[in-house]
Structure 1
Amino acid sequence: MKEPLLQGLIAAPFTPMNEDCTIKTEAIPAYADFIAAKGCLKGVFICGTSGESVSLTLEERKNIAEAWTNAAKGRFKVIVHVGGMSQPDCVELAAHAASVGADMIAAMAPGFFKPASVKDLVGFFKPVAAAAPELPFFYYNMPSITGVSLPVHEFLAEGKKDIPTLAGVKFTHNNLMEMQQCINLNDGEFEVLNGFDEILLAGVACGCKGAVGSTYNYIPGIYQGILDAIESGNLDEARRMSKKAVDIVDVLVKHGGGTRAGKIFMKLAGFDCGPCRLPIAPCSETELAKTREELEKTDFFKYTAV
Structure 2
Amino acid sequence: MKANHTLRGLIAAPFTPFDAQGEVNCPSIDKYAEFLISQGISGVFICGTTGESASLTTDERKRIAERWVAAAAGRLKVIVHVGGNCIPQSRELAAHAQRIGAYATAAMSPFFFKPASARELVDFFVPVAAAAPALPFFYYHMPSMTGVSIDVEEFLRLGGETIPNLAGVKYTHNNLMEMQALLNLEEGRFEVLHGFDEILLAGLALGAKAGVGSTYNYIAPVYLRIMECVEKGDLEEARRLQMISVEVVKIIIRHGGGVRGGKAIMNLLGIECGTCRRPLAPWGENELETLRKELENIDFFSLQK
Q: Name the residue aligned to 1:299.
A: 299
Q: Name the residue aligned to 2:210.
A: 210
Q: Name the residue aligned to 2:257.
A: 257
Deviations 1:234-291 (A, max 9, x none): 0000001001111111101111111111111111222120011111101123110111
Among the aligned pairs, what percent are the same residue? 58
> Are the equivalent residues in 2 in contact too, given 1:219–1:303 (CA < 8 A)?
yes
Structure 2: how far apart are the matches of 1:192 and 1:126? 19
Deviations 1:31-50 (A, max 9, x none): 11111111x21000000011
- Whether 1:23 and 2:24 are equivalent positions in the alignment is yes
The 5-angstrom pairing of residues 46-57 of structure 1 reads 46-57=46-57
* Count of residue correspondences: 304
- Whether 1:185 and 2:206 are equivalent positions in the alignment is no
Deviations 1:49-99 (A, max 9, x none): 110001000000000001111110111110000000111100110000000
Q: Name the residue aligned to 2:43.
A: 43
After TM superposition, the score normalised by the length of structure 1 is 0.97
Deviations 1:150-193 (A, max 9, x none): 01111001011110100000000000011111111001111101
Q: Name the residue aligned to 2:35.
A: 34
Q: Name the residue aligned to 1:174.
A: 174
- Whether 1:267 and 2:264 are equivalent positions in the alignment is no
Gap change, CA 1:146 and 1:2, over 3 Å in 2: closer
> Are the equivalent residues in 1 in contact too, given 2:167–2:190 (CA < 8 A)?
yes
Secondary structure at 2:297 match in 1: coil
The residue identity in structure 1 corresponding to 2:35 is F
Structure 2: how far apart are the matches of 1:59 and 1:108? 19
Deviation at 1:115, TM superposition (A): 0.4
> Are the equivalent residues in 2 in contact too, given 1:198–1:249 (CA < 8 A)?
yes
Structure 2: how far apart are the matches of 1:186 and 1:244? 35
The residue identity in structure 2 corresponding to 1:14 is F
> Are the equivalent residues in 2 in contact too, given 1:78–1:103 (CA < 8 A)?
yes
Secondary structure at 1:129 match in 2: helix
Deviation at 1:294, TM superposition (A): 0.9
Q: Name the residue aligned to 1:93.
A: 93
Q: Name the residue aligned to 1:9.
A: 10
- Deviating more after overlay: 24-33 vs 204-213: 24-33
Gap change, CA 1:124 and 1:2, over 3 Å in 2: closer
CA RMSD, 1 decimal: 1.2
Q: Name the residue aligned to 1:232.
A: 232
Deviations 1:86-140 (A, max 9, x none): 1110011000000011000000000010001111100110000000000000000
After TM superposition, the score normalised by the length of structure 2 is 0.98
Secondary structure at 2:140 match in 1: strand
Instruction: Provide runs of 4+ in structure 1 moved above 4 Å.
Output: none
Structure 2: how far apart are the matches of 1:205 and 1:105? 27
Deviation at 1:26, TM superposition (A): 1.5
The residue identity in structure 2 corresponding to 1:113 is F
Secondary structure at 1:106 match in 2: strand
Structure 1: how far apart are the matches of 2:207 and 2:59? 38
Secondary structure at 2:105 match in 1: strand
Structure 2: how far apart are the matches of 1:37 and 1:225? 15
Unaligned runs of 5+ in 2: none
Secondary structure at 1:44 match in 2: strand
Deviation at 1:5, TM superposition (A): 2.2
Deviation at 1:207, TM superposition (A): 1.0
- Deviating more after overlay: 12-21 vs 141-150: 12-21
Structure 1: how far apart are the matches of 2:269 and 2:32? 12
> Are the equivalent residues in 2 in contact too, given 1:244–1:299 (CA < 8 A)?
no
